[in-house]
A and B are shown apart, each in its own frame.
Chain A
C-alpha cells in the first residue's frame, strides 16, 4: 500500500470541519484529566479553588498522606443516577484505594432554563416558576421573588401578610430540615430516621395543603401578600405540629446524636474552616458550622424577624456532625419562632389592597365593573413594575437565597437571576471530601444538602 497516500480520498469538507469542531468545543470538556497531564490551571481550580485563600495559603497537592503514583489512582463517576447524590448530581472522584483525592461536581442535568422562562412570564405568573426551583423549600423561593418585586414596586405587604409569610417559611424550614434528617439518616444507614423524618414532614405538608391547596409548589406567597388567608383553626393545626415535632426531635437525639456508629460516621468528617467557607461564598448551615454566626434572619432581618426571639445555632468544627446538630437545632428554633408567631399574629389584610398590583376580592367582581376590569388586567397583562434593579436575599434552609431582578418598566422581569444556595455550596465539596473515604463522600454530599432543582434551575 505504498500508494495509500494517493488512493486515500478524504471526505469532502472533512478538513474544513475539523478545525470548526475544535473551535466549537474549545471551551473544554468537563472531565477530570489524568494526573500527569493536568495543567497548573486545572489543579489550581480543583485544589486551588478551595485552597487559594485570601491569605495566600500555599497549596500543597501532596497534603494527603497516601502512597500513590499516577497510574494507581482511579477516577470513578458517582451519579448522576446515584441514589445518594440527592438528585442528578454527578461527582467525579479520583480515588487512591478508598481515599478521595480530587472531586469534581458536574451539574446541569436538571437545567430547565427557569431564568429564561422567568423573563417570559409576568410578575403575577413568576411565583409559579420560581417555586419549582428549590422544591424542598418552595415557599422561600416565592418569598424572595415577591420581596424583590415589592422592592421594585416600592410597596410593602400588610402586617398580617408579613407574619403569614414568616409562619410559612419557618414551617417550610422545619419540613426541609426534616427531609434532610430523613435522607441523611438514610445515607448513613439509619432507615428508621428516614421513616421518621418523612412521617413528621407529612404533618407539615398536610398543613400546607390545607392552607395553599398544594403540598409542593404552592404559589402561595405572591407579590403584594399571600394568595389566601390562613384557614380557620390554623392555630390548632400549627400548635399540634409544634407539640408533635418538638418532642420527636429529642427522640432523634436518642436515635442518632449519641449513637456511636452515627458519631463515627460524622464527627470530624468533611471538615471546613471558617476562612475557606467565607472564601468559597458558602452560606447557611455550612457557614454556621464553621463558627460564623451569620444568619440573614438575624444579621439583616427581613419580614418581622427582628420582632421574634430565636437563637442562631453555630458550630465549632465545621464537620458533618456540626451541620447535623445545626439543622436539628434549627428545627427547634423554628418551632420556637412558630409558637411566637401564633401568639403575635396580627389581624388585617392578607394582601395589599392595591388594585394595580393584587386582584380584587372575588365578591367585588360580581358587583363592580371596575373590579372586573382590574381582575382581568392583572391576570392577562399583569402589572407594570417601575424601571430599576434590586437584589434581595432571604435565609432559606440551605443558605442565602438571593434574587437579582431587573425591570425595564414592563409587566415582565427584564432579568430574573436566582442565587441558589446549593449551587454555590456545592463548590465546597472538593475541599470537604479531600482525603476522606468513599463512604464518607456520601455522607459529606448529604451534609451539604444540595437540591438539584435549585442548583441547575
Chain B
C-alpha cells in the first residue's frame, strides 16, 4: 500500500476489514485500497452519531458526530472492505473520492443532501433527493420526523 498504512487503525472481524483513517488520510487510504484490487465502491453513506456517541471505536480514533462510511468491493477477490471516516460537526467536510471512483457521484450527493456533509472537490454537489430550496438536512438526528395531527390525542407522539 502506498498509504501511511501503519498509521491508519484497522479492525478485522472475521473476513471483513474496517479502516478508520482520519480526514487527511482518507483519500490516500482509499486510493491505496483501490490499487490493492478493490475496483468498485459499492456504497457510500453517512451516519449521524449525535445521540449515540459512545460507540465502539479502535484505540486512537476520536469519535465525532458524523461518520462517512465507504463500502469497497473487490470483484477479483470477492472481498468487501469498509472505510469509516470521522467528520466533526463544526467542520462537516471531507474530500471527495470522485476522482478514484466516479460512481460515488450520486452517493456523495445523497450524503450531502441528507446530512449536510460537504464533499470538497465534488463536481456537482447539489441536492439530489430533496427539493432544491429545502432547508435542513433530514437524516440528521436533530431533524424531526414531523407529525400527523390525530384527533383526540393529547400527547404529541413522535409521529
A contacts, CB < 8 Å to B: 24-25, 27-30, 41-42, 44-45, 48-50, 52-54, 107-108, 111, 113, 115-117, 120, 278-283, 292, 294, 299-300, 387-389, 391, 393, 400, 402, 404, 406, 408, 414-415, 417, 419, 423-424, 426-427, 456-457
Contacts and interface: CB of A to CB of B under 8 A. Distances in A.
A287 to B, nearest CB: 9
Contacts of A456: 129
A66 B138 CA distance: 44
Interface in B52-106: 52, 55-56, 69, 71, 75, 78, 80, 82, 98-106
A281 B101 contact: yes
B142 to A, nearest CB: 12
B42 A281 contact: yes
Contacts of A300: 78, 80
A108 B131 contact: yes
B133 interface: yes
Interface stretch (B2-10, B21-29, B119-127, B148-156): B119-127
A426 B132 CA distance: 20
Nearest to A456: B129
A404 B125 CA distance: 23
Nearest to A121: B159
By CB atoms of chain B within 10 A, which of A27, A117, A457 has the most? A27
Interface in B111-141: 114, 123-133, 135, 138-139
B130 A111 contact: yes
Contacts of A113: 138, 145
Given A24-B135, A415-B48, A423 B103 contact: no
B43 interface: yes
A402 B124 contact: no
B123 A48 contact: yes
A427 B105 contact: yes
Contact of A292 (B48, B52, B75, B104): B75
A50 B100 CA distance: 12
Contacts of A427: 102-103, 105-106
Contacts of B135: 24
A53 B39 contact: no
Contacts of B110: 423
B45 A117 contact: no
A406 B99 contact: no
Q: Which 8 pairs from chain A and chain B are nearest by CB?
A: A281-B103, A45-B123, A408-B52, A419-B43, A45-B124, A280-B103, A417-B45, A111-B129
A44 B132 contact: no
Given A45-B105, A117-B145, A294-B75, A30 B132 contact: yes
Contact of B127 (A27, A50, A292): A27
Interface of B: 34, 39-43, 45, 47-48, 51-52, 55-56, 69, 71, 75, 78, 80, 82, 98-107, 110, 114, 123-133, 135, 138-139, 145, 158-159
A173 to B, nearest CB: 20
Contacts of B101: 279, 281
A54 B34 contact: yes
A42 B40 CA distance: 23
Given A25-B133, A49-B102, A388-B56, 18 more contacts: A24-B133, A27-B127, A28-B124, A30-B132, A41-B123, A49-B98, A108-B127, A111-B130, A120-B145, A120-B158, A278-B75, A391-B69, A400-B42, A414-B52, A415-B48, A417-B45, A419-B42, A427-B102
Contact of A25 (B41, B75, B98, B132): B132
A24 B116 CA distance: 13
By CB atoms of chain B within 10 A, which of A52, A299, A415 has the most? A415
8 contacts: A28-B125, A108-B128, A387-B55, A391-B43, A404-B43, A408-B51, A456-B129, A457-B129
Contacts of A45: 105, 123-124
A414 B141 CA distance: 10
Given A24-B135, A115-B139, A278-B75, A49 B80 contact: no
A398 to B, nearest CB: 14
A49 B99 CA distance: 9
Contacts of A49: 98, 102, 105, 123
B48 A281 contact: no
A374 B98 CA distance: 49
By CB atoms of chain A within 10 A, which of B43, B55, B100 has the most? B43
A250 B139 CA distance: 47
B7 to A, nearest CB: 23
Contact of B128 (A48, A107, A278): A107
Contacts of B128: 107-108
By CB atoms of chain A within 10 A, which of B45, B78, B133 has the most? B45
Contacts of B71: 391, 402, 404, 419
Contacts of A25: 132-133
A423 B105 CA distance: 11
Contacts of A389: 47, 69
A388 B47 CA distance: 13
A27 B69 CA distance: 23
Contact of B103 (A28, A279, A417): A279
Nearest to A28: B126
Contacts of B47: 389, 406, 414-415, 417
Given A44-B123, A120-B158, A52 B78 contact: no
A117 B147 CA distance: 12
Contacts of B45: 404, 417, 419
Contact of A27 (B75, B99, B126): B126
B80 to A, nearest CB: 7
